[in-house]
Structure 1
Amino acid sequence: MKREVKRIYFLCGQNRCRSQMAEAFAKFYGGDHVVVESAGLNPSEEVHPYTIEAMREVGIDLSQHVCKKN
């Protein structure tokens, strides 16, 4: 039986912390079953360094991620 691919979109103010983390976790745990994106209404210049460090501690690399606009 073919499994339907779900689309998940995380939207926040700056796309700097929470939405970046949510996108990364959804991709990590969702695998090929989800298409995930995140964006901000007023995106920051960069992903917050603490976000990158926190995700590195759980084995997810966000060092190359960029903040995206909705």
Structure 2
Amino acid sequence: MHTDPYHIFNLKAGFRTSLYRRLSLQVSGGINNAGNSTYASSVLINATGFGNTEPRFYYPGLPRNYYAGVRLRYML
């Protein structure tokens, strides 16, 4: 079994600041697979099927996706 070479490029950025003496805020976001590459996340040799289905040998990777997060922290 053979798969072509590929490159995955992920981006992540964040910002953190102190709002008050004991309160801080962190905001972050990013992009996974920024180039939207088609790739094999897993190539299985001698794979077995689930239930009565035929085995899958190629598991395609995730397309481009985005994420974001906010964290508000209070320190005692």
Please give the range of the TM-score, normalised by the shorter of the 2 chains: under 0.3
**Bigger helix fraction:** 1
Q: What's the TM-score, normalizing by structure 1?
A: 0.23
Q: What's the TM-score, normalizing by structure 2?
A: 0.22
**Which of the pair has more CA radius of gyration?**
2
